[in-house]
Amino acid sequence: MIHLDLDIKDFCSDWTHCDLMSGYIARMVSHNRLDSLLFSNLYSSALNELLEAVYRTHGDSGKMECAVQRRGNLDRVILTFPADEATYDVYRDVIGKAGGDDAEALYLEALFADEEPGASLGLLELSVDYGARLAIDRCEDGRMRLIADLALEDEKE
């Protein structure tokens, strides 16, 4: 549906890029929803959390891609970005926790922690508050692919 490419250094040069990208994409994908304003707000918030996770934890250099797809009421966001093994391990650990029975407790612990949040806070929030299904994968070029499936609107509404 939409595909954006940009350099990870350019993306991470300014915190507001997360908000600008999420707002733009949310407006583009929300026009044909039953309640487009509500859907746009939810989609923008969810996508912003994904982008902030990448902003906080990523590899040194390379291309970041953001693709959004839709099938029925399921929206898929695919973020592909540079990540070394240590970065990949961080995401694998967080996604494992996000799918566990104690995800909500871990989310609240991360939310009220004193230290600067890493990738974990936003991903746990997506899992707990938005019911997102998260997955990661390695690309042939060594980059990492973060996939989030979101069902933000009921088909019957």
pTM over 0.85: yes
**112 vs 27, 116, 117, 129, CA distance in Å?**
31, 10, 10, 16
Q: Secondary structure of the chain: what % helix, strand, coil (to 5)?
A: 45, 25, 30
Which spans in 12-141 are helix H?
16-29, 36-56, 85-98, 103-111, 120-130
* Alpha-carbon span 82 to 60, nearest angstrom: 7
| Helix pair 120-130, 103-111: axis angle to 10 deg | 130
The answer to whether residues 138 and 145 touch, using CB atoms and an 8 Å cutoff, is: yes
Q: What is the pLDDT along the chain (157 residues), one digit of tens a residue?
A: 899 999 999 999 998 999 999 999 999 999 888 889 999 999 999 999 999 999 998 888 999 999 999 998 899 999 999 999 999 999 999 999 998 899 999 999 888 888 877 778 899 999 999 999 999 999 999 999 999 999 988 765 5
pLDDT of residue 156: 58
Q: For strand 133-138 and strand 144-150, is the pairing parallel, antiparallel, or unpaired?
A: antiparallel
What one-character DSSP code corresponds to residue 51? H
User: What is the sign, positive or negative, of the torsion defined by CA atoms of 110, 137, 58, 8?
Assistant: negative
pLDDT of residue 155: 66
